[in-house]
Structure 1
Amino acid sequence: MNIFEDTLPRSERTRPMRVAILGCSGSIGTQALDVCRMHPDKLSVTALAVNSSCDKVVAAAREFGAVHVAVADEARRSDPALEELPPGCELGFGRDAVTRLASLPDVDCVLVAVAGEAGIWASAEALRAGKVWAPANKEALVIAGDLLMPLCKPGRCLPVDSEHNAIYQCLVGERHAEVRRIWLTCSGGPFFGRTREELEHAAAAQALAHPTWTMGPKITIDSATLMNKGLEVIEAHHLFDVPIDDVCVLVHRQSRIHSAVEFADGSVKAQLGPSDMRIPIQYALSYPERWASPATPVDWRDAGALTFDHPDTEAFRCLPLALEAGRAGGTLPCAMNAANEVANAAFRAGTCGFCDIDRTVEAVMSATRVEPLDSVEQVDEVDALARTRARDYLARLA
């Protein structure tokens, strides 16, 4: 499925576009709400979901007039904040309630910004219902791209990740057969240039200091290990139907070029702009139109030099491990992702070292039997087993 070859006709887009934001309290979700705040005549927020941040979802529902709210954490049923929901607002709890929001008749576009494996269920529901799918949850595609992409109808997928949104923009109007490779840009994270020995002593506070982007803690650590870029390679593989090895990671410290596409004739198209996630979020919600920018434009006369480099795959082992999982496919990306999530959380909690993240991922991958991916239920089983193996491995390291 080549998502960029067919687009949703303007005549099929409702005005205002009715949006469900799943994960509205996180970094992407709050910036998506900011975009909706800027364009109330074009976007209407009808459904909202959070994991457990009841006060934030209530505040957003009251501001935007959302009529559907879901809280994934069942333990929040008695949270007093929920008593302040707008009159008539429908409230549900648990993963199924979050998933149901993706197929509501008064939702046109589903922005999936929930963290981790949970995004698969809502993504599949949105695709089956023929909604415009704006995935900001890269794990859903990494883990279950083989299941999700066959469900994706032409013109119904607008990726939100800055890199994949940039690739999408570069591919509009182009032919898939003429794509030679994708250049996936990478800031290099806060530890660019560090040796493996230096990384052994890296602290979580240092890893959380990203040089150019403001993101949530999990993805910021993934950026520091370069796992985030490995996940994005697999995501691009699924979204744009290109081999893993035709997606080349390019270290670009300034984060001005958000990615590029090289064509058969040697021409390269790149998408440049400010390092502001509201721009790709807005493009995903506005396509095929372009609305007034939510960010301060770059004066390219003052932008300075743009530099490029190779990623150091000897020091940053998560990237080659992710590429290995992507090449193998099947259940291995799921196991790899689960192990990374466990080790990432352990590093943030101070119970393992920075390089123990890739050691954990490698150990779990080595113990995983690679099988074809047949169902979303199978994903749950592989994910659970990989998490158990990751915790056991980390316990042995302690």
Structure 2
Amino acid sequence: MVPMTESLAHPHLRFAPPTTAPGEPRDIVILGSTGSIGTQAIDLVLRNPDRFRVTGLSAAGGRVALLAEQARQLRVRTVAVAREDVVPALREALAAQYGTGEPLPEILAGPDAAAQLAATKCHTVLNGITGSIGLAPTLAALESGASLALANKESLIVGGPLVKALAEPGQIVPVDSEHSALFQGLMGGPMKEVRKLVVTASGGPFRGRTKAELATVTPEQALAHPTWAMGPVITINSATLVNKGLEVIEAHLLYDVPFERIEVVVHPQSYIHSMVEFTDGSTLAQASPPDMRMPIALALGWPERIPDAAPGIDWTKAHIWEFFPLDQEAFPSVPLACHVGTLGGTAPAVFNAANEECVDAFLKGGLPFTGIVDTVAEVVAEHGTPAPGTSLTLSDVLEAETWARARARELAARAARTPSEARA
């Protein structure tokens, strides 16, 4: 890979993406196309047909009608689904969308389908899959040499050393609004002048509540996010601030900044997406309305910006932007995540997998809201400290996740049987 410019002192800015012929749109593969990130990315592509051409789509398989409609709109070559049992329904839906005699796209199916698609030749892979199942597609995209627009934070968190070993400097362009903001803020000076990364959090729907007040929170209340429209797992993670803990680990891995120099601040309005503080005391903040199309567009178009990707701030109106320190007693997920990130090895995979199981238990009524992070902390403690100098393999990650999920389910079931004693 040829450095994009030698004058920039940031490793994350030096990647030269695969070349595209002048006047030709970039070939894009979208993983998780029927989810929130995927549908917004498709909106951008359809509004910019001169810049982007989608060659492949992947989805879990729960919304085959939408997937078939997307395939027809974009005229993709390949469609991938994780669930093999939905292939007949997908074929039927595709046939209904396409004209008589018109060739249908190739169908890949099974748990490895998204990784197969990510390995196909293209300019950029957008990984919008939710959960650690996005790790294999992330590794496949990096191995293929494509630019990786990464919305699947879990793949970096659970497989950090594996991902970093494969990635060329700057090959990953983050899609999370916070990491996109840091990505942009870090252009303001060399890394030696960076004092601190400040990651903003909306605070979720329960900002200001004590831990005791959070004990009776219902799934319906936790799913009502005040700012963002997201899937259920991410929405609950935002309510517990586990999502922010994951983002701190991701920032550490993306930018090689130690945990003690990454701070979380609560910003309810969600206009400032994150900040970079420099050694002279100045702080650069990236601000825009809470709309994920902006960071998606930056990742797909990098190093160019896409005009009118999302609305800008309306400066004809008055704005009040507030900032509050994080209440770590009510929301202990961030310090727990920093501890997990410091442990390294398979600890982040255990943290993430246990959390996914605990969120599921909470949504099904089997675990109290505060029991999510408390149970995750218990699983992490049982997992222990990785042996120093131990290298990480994909099988290590998968084995640790399997154990963590099973143990989290056991502890959640125990909490459901004895709710008054579970968190004593």
87-96 vs 157-166, which deviates more?
A: 87-96
- Deviation sequence 1:231-284 (CA, Å, 0-9, x none): 000000001111112110011111110111111221211100111000000011
Aligned counterpart, 1:383: 401
Query: 2:53 — aligned with what?
Result: 44
TM-superposed deviation, 1:303:
4.0
State the shift of 1:352 in Å: 1.4
Relative to 1, partners in 2 of residues 1:140 and 1:303: Cα closer, same or farther, differing over 3 Å?
A: farther
Counterpart residue number, 1:98? 114
| Count of residue correspondences | 396
1:160 pairs with one of 165, 175, 180: 175
Counterpart in the other structure of 2:257: 242
* 1:71 counterpart = 2:87: no
- Report the CA distance between 1:2 and its aligned residue: 5.3
Tell me if the contact between 2:69 and 2:94 (Cα under 8 Å) persists in the aligned partners. no
Higher Cα radius of gyration: 2
Q: CA–CA distance in 2 between the matches of 1:333 and 1:179?
A: 25
| TM-aligned CA distance change 1:175 to 1:207, over 3 Å | same
Distance 1:20 1:2 in 2: 27
Alignment of 1:1-398 (within 5 A): 3-8=11-16, 12-14=19-21, 15-52=24-61, 53-79=63-89, 80-84=92-96, 87-105=103-121, 107-172=122-187, 174-371=189-386, 372-398=390-416
How far apart, CA to CA, are the structure 1 residues paired with 2:40 and 2:275? 24
One-letter amino acid matched to 2:67? V
Q: CA RMSD in A?
A: 1.7
TM-score, normalised relative to structure 1: 0.96
- Structure having greater relative contact order (Cα 8 Å, sep ≥ 6): 1
Which 10-residue stretch deviates more, 372-381 or 96-105? 372-381
Does the CA contact (< 8 Å) of 2:366 and 2:413 recur in 1? no
Provide the residue aligned with 2:6 in structure 1: none
User: What's the offset of the Cα at 1:327?
Assistant: 1.3
Q: Secondary structure of the residue that 1:95 maps to in structure 2?
A: coil
Give yes or no for contact 1:4–1:171 (8 Å, CA) kept in 2: no
1:190 alignment partner, SS class: helix
Bigger shift: residues 372-381 or 177-186: 372-381
Contact persistence 1:141–1:235 (CA under 8 A): yes
State the one-letter code of the partner of 1:75. D
- 1:315 partner SS: coil
Q: Quick one: distance in 1 between partners of 2:209 and 2:315?
A: 30
The whole-number CA distance in structure 2 between the counterparts of 1:280 and 1:85 is 31
SS in 2 for 1:300: coil
Aligned partners of 1:348 and 1:373: how far apart in 2?
Answer: 36
1:29–1:365 CA distance, 2 compared to 1 (3 A): same
Distance 1:303 1:168 in 2: 28
For residues 293 and 248 of structure 1, the distance between their equivalents in structure 2, rounded to whole angstroms, comes to 31
Identity of aligned residues (%): 44
Say which is worse superposed, 327-336 or 84-93, in terms of deviation: 84-93
CA distance in 2, matches of 1:85, 1:379: 40
1:110 Cα deviation from its structure 2 partner: 0.4
Within 2, Cα distance between the matches of 1:88 and 1:304? 50
The alpha-carbon distance between structure 1 residues 3 and 114, as it changes in their structure 2 partners (threshold 3 A), is farther
TM-score when normalising by structure 2: 0.90
